[in-house]
Structure 1
Amino acid sequence: MMTKGFFTPIVELRRKVFKEVASLALHTDSLDEVIKEVDDIPYKIIPGYKPQFRESVFRERAIIAERTRLALGLPLVDQGEHKRLAKAVEKAYSIDKILEPPLVNVIPAACEACPEDQFYVTNNCRNCLAHPCVIVCPVNAVSIVDDRANIDEKCVHCGRCQKACPYEAIVRFDRPCAAACGIDAIESRKDGRAYVNLDRCVVCGMCVVDCPFGAVSDKSEIFQMLLALKAGKKLYAIIAPSFVGQFGPLVSPEQIFKGLEKLGFKEVVEVALGADIASMHEVKILIDRVPKEQPFMGTSCCPSWTMIAKKYFPELYKYISPSHTPMVATARYVKERDLEGKVVFIGPCISKKLEALNKEVRQYVDYVITFEELAGIFVAAGIELTQLSEDVKINYASVGGRGYAISGGVAQAIKRNMELWYPESKIKVMQADSLSECSKVLTLAKNGKLDGHLIEGMACPGGCIGGPGTLLPTKKARQIVTEFAKNAPYKYPYENPFAVRKKEEEAYEEARVKSGKVRHAVEGKNTAKDEDVIKIRNNAEK
């Protein structure tokens, strides 16, 4: 990802929009006030008469207005229409979910109609005597014009000329949003501007972070969520395992939890808890179904990966695990304890917003926001995380549950559980991160090359730590999440009192009977007794 981990002007503008929309929710007392102030947001972000980034200050404000519209959860307006934000904001003024597809949108006024995939001859061309670029072209698209190589419209993008040039004078480039998409969901309108083909899109959001003009953006529901908070609703934050380090090197995980509590959340829960629950469930499914009922099993934690299977490999979709994603499993944990509470998932993911629109999931997850959106909320609320205390325990998850955020972490957690529960079973693992790699792996599975495997699919490079809603470079995030996982209070999910409940106890007992052993998580020793598991659960209830 080109801009990932860098504080570019695009990142700054996005966060300013989130901050202003959050301020609108937090610091107004009525719809009339919102209507009065919302049209001022483009002028606050782009003040004065001099443009900051483009040729016209009016174009810049028009783009900010559309970004604000999306941040309010509203759809874009048609390019030729003029609609003030104040005319539409009434629909956004709600504590209920108003989000509707499409979630990922190209803002026409911001798109620069970048050239599509092509090869280009640079000034490095020396018009050499050999002319290997001309010789290797299979369609005669390369010729010498005005003492340098020229590539015409007959080019079939085979790349042979680029490889043959001794001066590396030929470069290939594509519009960055399309290059970031591994399933060719970015297409062109007649005017050359990009648009998202919704029939192909799996809402991974890679185009959002890779467009160097900031022309692609996603809808948000921070406005509705904050209105619910202000209205006195009981909101519970469930935060994805990739949260550590996302708010700066001086901010501890405990301070992030404290910040959410100060914002008004009743409780903050690690989604790694749901990962523990899911990983235990998936062991059971693997043992029961692979290879007796199905040739392999795909993980289910990444909605975009699941959508790739459903859209492009429908015959394989039935082999994706039926387990709830960690988000849903954690939300169910919260709802079981407070049916009146509203659950807010906070994470790196845009596709989770789409997952939360699913009829079954909506009963558990009320809002979904990203780390980047939360950063804007903290600024609007005047919360400085580094100044908060750290007197909070974060003890909801095991090592494996926290490792779900990293590519390979899901499969490894399930594998470790399998080895613990069923030591005689030998599980084979395959993993893929990025849409293109996911497609390749599913092609192998379709051809029978991955029978007997557990296949982990992640749409984002690096896993969830590389998601479009993150704030941290992926490599650095991997280091921080790995260290945080190592310090988890439980080595295995079966030690986790929040995860070991009735259903898991029954599965544990079944596995114990089948194996003829009582295997326990602590240091891999076979020392556990049934009452140990019950004791752990009872302690959790206390």
Structure 2
Amino acid sequence: MADTMRGVYTNLTEIRRNVFCEVAKIAYEGGDDQAKKLDELPYKIIPGDVATYRESVFLERAIVGERIRLTLGLPLQGVDRPEQLSDGLAEAAKPETYYQPPLINIIKFACNACEDNVYRVTNMCQGCLAHPCREICPKGAITFVDKKAHIDQEKCVHCGQCAKVCPYHAILHKERPCASACGMHAIGSDEHGRAQIDYEKCVSCGQCLINCPFGAIADKSQIFQVIQAINAGDEVIAAVAPAFVGQFGGKGNVGKLREAFHQLGFSGVEEVALGADLCTIQEADDYLNEVPEKLPFMGTSCCPAWSVMAKKEFPKYANCISMALTPMTLTARMIRTQHPHAKIVFVGPCAAKKLEAMRKSIRSEVDFVLTFEEMAGMMEAKQIDYLSLADDNKSDFDVASADGRGFAVAGGVATAVVNAIHRRYPDREVNVANAEGLEDCRKMMKDAVCGKYPGYLLEGMACPGGCVAGAGTLQAIKKSAAAVKRYAKRSPHENATENAYRVLIPALAEEGGVDTEVEETFEAQRPVAKE
């Protein structure tokens, strides 16, 4: 399902940004009255006594309250027992605090209980003489009442044949938007018809939360903890994902971005495209050393949601996904060599990176993960107008290649790896297949294990469009992709092999095991049992 809301400033967008902004304000202000301010925050965000978005202002405030708790990294409370919104704040206020599982949450009383996989006849039905819908139905589920088609839901098997043959397109297939967007088929319904996540399947791609038009799904944030670390005087360094270009406005002015982060309290900013270069070189080596002699094909590693899906659903071919460390991890490890005591914050488009950073078997060196949207909330809290900032007059990030910067757009990873291979072996043929969205990624893997892609390099991206379509992005996908490509062309280096930091790869990758990656990902999503 395409994400039609991205880049459109909706009521939901405003509520999300207001929550991020107000929580960031309270965190920056500090003081002993934080709990009081948080308890009063729903009334500040939803003022008055008249509902604006839903049937009740009390419901609106309750939903905002849950979103505030998730932004603090705290678990949902629900409405079935009396609790203060700020309960648990003391733990959340510790800079080292990580959220309790699960990461992706459904606010049950915000869910619309949308119908899922149901065929309904609309008022477009003309009661035509031919009745093709009735004639083609294999279960006799369609009858005509008052000259209009009627579907007996008890008999319907959801084959969709009626919708295909209706000459007036009067039969619609109703799907729950979040479930339709979930490539893992992880969303079902509870006993009340409300959405429910199967955390044994969820890989935290975040497509459900950006496709729910009721704002009932949200992930937990570390805004509060990052600001606590800044307030404590820690050295806090941001590692910014390649998809950042244009997310905060403008056309990729890096000088303005560095200045904005400086005003937020960050000690420095590094470009994760640097790690993308190192990942490219690792994957090129993996491919050259193992395909096709040891492995029938090789999949890229940088998208954690795709990687985990492929390894979980095709365990016999788990070793066909590259063992290369992700750009986030490689960049963070590089930063750590020069800043051993810094807090490292990955800033990017991806919800799944929040789980990747928590893994124990692959030491990521990332302390916190923030999305671009969460970062925008912090900027608003400090009243930073990105476009009006003065350039810091330093040169652009000048170490990442154009190929490394292109990782953010679908097809970019495979292109970078192929280009790196061709630098060493110009005549080596490298066939590529790529897929966007976990549904298509699964199909690509099925084809690969059936022998359709012998010796191929497979690029998988959980988000349709690539990282520029991640759950934490701000801008329309096509606009972001174009901005990234323009920025990539400005690099003084064309290919990852030109990166001077490539000599560090052996040292940075020495702790790169992935044996428990899949199990750790699902363990980090399983809800904590309530006592």
TM category, shorter: over 0.9
User: What amino acid does structure 2 have at the position aligned with 1:20?
Assistant: E
- CA deviation digits over 1:356-391, x for unaligned, max 9? 110145550000000000000001112121222221
The residue aligned with 1:28 is 30
- CA deviation digits over 1:128-157, x for unaligned, max 9? 111000001111111111210011121112
Counterpart contact for 2:119–2:158, Cα < 8 Å? yes
The residue aligned with 1:103 is 103
Counterpart contact for 1:269–1:396, Cα < 8 Å? no
1:199 aligns with 2:164: no
Shift of 1:283: 1.0
Instruction: Give the percent of matched residue pairs that are identical in Structure 1 and Structure 2.
Output: 46
The residue aligned with 1:464 is 467
Q: Select between 170-179 and 384-393 the one with higher mean Cα deviation.
A: 384-393
Counterpart contact for 2:416–2:496, Cα < 8 Å? no
The residue aligned with 1:488 is 491
The residue aligned with 1:533 is none
Q: Which has the larger radius of gyration?
A: 1
Matches within 5 A, 1:10-49: 10-29=12-31, 32-49=32-49
CA–CA separation in structure 2 for the residues paired with 1:459 and 1:492:
25
Matches within 5 A, 1:12-411: 12-29=14-31, 32-153=32-153, 154-249=155-250, 252-361=253-362, 364-390=365-391, 391-393=393-395, 394-411=397-414
The residue aligned with 1:523 is none
Count of aligned positions: 503
CA–CA separation in structure 2 for the residues paired with 1:361 and 1:292:
27
- CA deviation digits over 1:394-425, x for unaligned, max 9? 21300100000000000000000101112232
Runs of 4+ displaced beyond 3 Å: 360-363, 498-504
CA–CA separation in structure 2 for the residues paired with 1:502 and 1:62:
49
Counterpart contact for 2:222–2:368, Cα < 8 Å? yes
| Partner secondary structure for residue 316 of structure 1 | helix
User: What amino acid does structure 2 have at the position aligned with 1:432?
Assistant: A
| Cα RMSD (Å) | 1.5
Counterpart contact for 1:110–1:214, Cα < 8 Å? yes
CA–CA separation in structure 1 for the residues paired with 2:42 and 2:78:
18
The residue aligned with 2:521 is none
Residue 347 to residue 200, structure 1, CA distance change in 2 (3 Å) = same
Counterpart contact for 1:103–1:219, Cα < 8 Å? yes
Shift of 1:499: 3.8
Counterpart contact for 1:97–1:367, Cα < 8 Å? no
* Structure 1: gaps (5+ residues): 505-542
* Structure 2: gaps (5+ residues): 508-531
User: What amino acid does structure 2 have at the position aligned with 1:455?
Assistant: L
Shift of 1:82: 2.7
Shift of 1:392: 2.5
Residue 173 to residue 62, structure 1, CA distance change in 2 (3 Å) = same
The residue aligned with 2:525 is none
Shift of 1:495: 2.1
CA–CA separation in structure 1 for the residues paired with 2:25 and 2:309:
37
The residue aligned with 1:516 is none
Shift of 1:500: 4.3
| Partner secondary structure for residue 375 of structure 2 | helix
Shift of 1:197: 0.6
Residue 112 to residue 227, structure 1, CA distance change in 2 (3 Å) = same
CA–CA separation in structure 2 for the residues paired with 1:94 and 1:464:
30
Shift of 1:503: 4.1
User: What amino acid does structure 2 have at the position aligned with 1:149?
Assistant: A
CA–CA separation in structure 2 for the residues paired with 1:502 and 1:434:
30
If the length of structure 1 is used for normalisation, what is the TM-score?
A: 0.91
User: What amino acid does structure 1 have at the position aligned with 2:166?
Assistant: C
The residue aligned with 2:445 is 442
Counterpart contact for 1:241–1:402, Cα < 8 Å? yes
CA–CA separation in structure 1 for the residues paired with 2:362 and 2:263:
27
Return the match for 1:415 from 415, 418, 426: 418
